[in-house]
Amino acid sequence: MPEIPTSRKKAARFLRFFRSIHRQIAIILFVFFFIVCVSGLLLGWKKNSLGLILPADAKGTSQDLSTWLPWDSLQSIAFRTLHDSVSPTLSTALERIDARPGKGIIKFVFDDDYWEIQLDGRTGAVMQIDQRRSDIIENIHDGTILDVLFNTDNDQFKLSYTTIMGGSLLMLTVTGFWLWYGPKKLRRRKKTGFLHGKPE
């Protein structure tokens, strides 16, 4: 951590420099910080949003995997349901398959438009069809939304965005601390009447 210079003029310049950096970062990235704050707040509440942000888990009929239908059969049901109940034009490309034996369900999460279909693992019955708004919010939160929109490889936008935002937040933390601590230290020195070990 940098030390406050002993010369009062130098110390004042030092603090003005930190204040300038702090202000410029805050002004330039204000909108992005607002987006990060709001999206982070929503993600924190996703499991307590009554299904508005993250679809609630349904309850299947069996927790015993040995009684479940074969996964390829469950996948065929999910694909058919996507085209019959949502849109025949949507791609069946899967983002992931999420099995929840403890709840007796399996989730098929699709790449197109963040759709999720929950099936009963034993019967194959469709338990729920909904969009995972939490995934959209998460992609906005970390910049992945730009990689999705521009169909880029290797998460270039996400890596750039998180590096800039993380570095900027670190700079705001450091400069904010010194804008609080620096004047206190200077006032303390002024009160003692000593700078450079000599009375002012």
Which pLDDT score is estimated for 55?
Answer: 95
With 0.85 as the threshold, say if the pTM is over it.
no
Which pLDDT score is estimated for 200?
Answer: 47
**pLDDT under 50: residue ranges of the chain:** 194-195, 199-200
Residue 78 and residue 72: Cα distance in Å, rounded? Answer: 10
Question: Of the candidates 116, 115, 118, 114, which has an alpha carbon nearest to the alpha carbon of residue 140?
Answer: 114
Which pLDDT score is estimated for 182?
Answer: 82
Which pLDDT score is estimated for 127?
Answer: 98
User: CB of 107 within 8 A of CB of 118?
Assistant: yes
Tokens 């309850």 -> residue: 59
Which pLDDT score is estimated for 7?
Answer: 65
List the domain boundaries for the chain: 1-52+139-200, 55-131
Which pLDDT score is estimated for 13?
Answer: 84
HSE at residue 62, side-chain half, CA atoms within 13 A, is 11
Which pLDDT score is estimated for 91?
Answer: 96
The string of DSSP codes covering the chain is: -PPPPSSHHHHHHHHHHHHHHHHHHHHHTHHHHHHHHHHHHHHHTGGGSTTSSSPPP---S---GGGSPPHHHHHHHHHHHIIIII-TTS---EEEEEEEGGGTEEEEEESGGGEEEEEETTT--EEEEEE-HHHHHHHHHHTHHHHHHHT-STTHHHHHHHHHHHHHHHHHHHHHHHHHHHHHHHHHHHHHTEETTEE-
